[in-house]
Amino acid sequence: MTDIIRGDGQDLVAAVRAAAAAHRTTWEAMVPNHFEVNLDMEAAEEEAYAEMARAKAILRDHICKTYGISIRELSSLAMP
Protein backbone atom coordinates (compact mmCIF):
# COMPACT_ATOMS: atom_id res chain seq x y z
CA MET A 1 0.00 0.00 0.00
CA THR A 2 2.84 2.42 0.70
CA ASP A 3 3.92 1.96 -2.92
CA ILE A 4 1.38 4.60 -4.00
CA ILE A 5 2.52 7.70 -5.82
CA ARG A 6 3.50 10.24 -3.20
CA GLY A 7 2.41 13.39 -5.04
CA ASP A 8 -1.33 13.48 -4.45
CA GLY A 9 -2.56 14.33 -0.96
CA GLN A 10 -5.99 12.83 -1.57
CA ASP A 11 -4.43 9.51 -2.52
CA LEU A 12 -2.35 9.65 0.67
CA VAL A 13 -5.45 10.31 2.78
CA ALA A 14 -7.20 7.40 1.06
CA ALA A 15 -4.21 5.17 1.84
CA VAL A 16 -4.35 6.12 5.53
CA ARG A 17 -8.07 5.41 5.64
CA ALA A 18 -7.60 2.03 3.94
CA ALA A 19 -4.77 1.10 6.29
CA ALA A 20 -6.85 2.15 9.30
CA ALA A 21 -9.74 0.00 8.07
CA ALA A 22 -7.40 -2.98 7.63
CA HIS A 23 -6.04 -2.44 11.14
CA ARG A 24 -9.55 -2.21 12.57
CA THR A 25 -10.43 -5.52 10.91
CA THR A 26 -7.38 -7.30 12.30
CA TRP A 27 -7.88 -5.75 15.74
CA GLU A 28 -11.48 -6.93 15.84
CA ALA A 29 -10.35 -10.42 14.81
CA MET A 30 -7.72 -10.43 17.55
CA VAL A 31 -10.01 -8.97 20.22
CA PRO A 32 -13.53 -10.07 19.26
CA ASN A 33 -15.03 -8.99 22.60
CA HIS A 34 -14.04 -7.84 26.09
CA PHE A 35 -13.43 -11.39 27.27
CA GLU A 36 -11.45 -12.97 24.43
CA VAL A 37 -8.08 -12.49 22.75
CA ASN A 38 -7.24 -14.51 19.66
CA LEU A 39 -3.44 -14.67 19.80
CA ASP A 40 -3.36 -16.34 16.38
CA MET A 41 -4.21 -12.90 14.94
CA GLU A 42 -1.48 -11.01 16.79
CA ALA A 43 1.06 -11.01 13.94
CA ALA A 44 -1.54 -9.85 11.41
CA GLU A 45 -2.68 -7.08 13.75
CA GLU A 46 0.89 -5.92 14.33
CA GLU A 47 1.60 -5.83 10.59
CA ALA A 48 -1.61 -3.92 9.90
CA TYR A 49 -0.71 -1.43 12.64
CA ALA A 50 2.78 -0.98 11.16
CA GLU A 51 1.32 -0.43 7.69
CA MET A 52 -1.06 2.17 9.10
CA ALA A 53 1.86 3.91 10.83
CA ARG A 54 3.82 3.95 7.54
CA ALA A 55 0.86 5.42 5.64
CA LYS A 56 0.39 8.09 8.31
CA ALA A 57 4.09 8.98 8.20
CA ILE A 58 4.00 9.38 4.42
CA LEU A 59 0.95 11.66 4.67
CA ARG A 60 2.49 13.64 7.53
CA ASP A 61 5.75 14.09 5.62
CA HIS A 62 3.83 15.18 2.52
CA ILE A 63 1.88 17.80 4.50
CA CYS A 64 5.00 19.13 6.20
CA LYS A 65 6.93 19.34 2.92
CA THR A 66 4.04 20.85 0.96
CA TYR A 67 3.31 23.58 3.51
CA GLY A 68 6.81 24.07 4.87
CA ILE A 69 5.89 23.29 8.46
CA SER A 70 7.44 21.11 11.11
CA ILE A 71 5.81 18.08 12.69
CA ARG A 72 5.45 20.13 15.88
CA GLU A 73 3.65 22.89 13.98
CA LEU A 74 1.41 20.35 12.28
CA SER A 75 0.46 18.73 15.57
CA SER A 76 -0.29 22.13 17.13
CA LEU A 77 -2.90 22.69 14.42
CA ALA A 78 -4.92 19.81 15.83
CA MET A 79 -5.43 21.65 19.11
CA PRO A 80 -7.40 24.86 19.76
pLDDT band at 7 (very low <50, low <70, confident <90, very high): low
Taking the C-alpha atoms of residue 46 and residue 8, their distance in angstroms, rounded to an integer, is 27
Cβ-contact 54, 48 below 8 angstroms: no
pLDDT in tens, 13-58: 999 999 999 999 999 999 999 999 999 999 999 999 999 999 999 9
Torsion region of 28: left, alpha or beta (phi above 0 gives left; psi -120 to 50 gives alpha):
alpha
Q: Where are the domains positioned within the chain?
A: 9-76
Q: Count other Cβ atoms within 10 Å, centred on residue 19.
A: 22
Cβ-contact 69, 76 below 8 angstroms: no
pLDDT at 78: 86
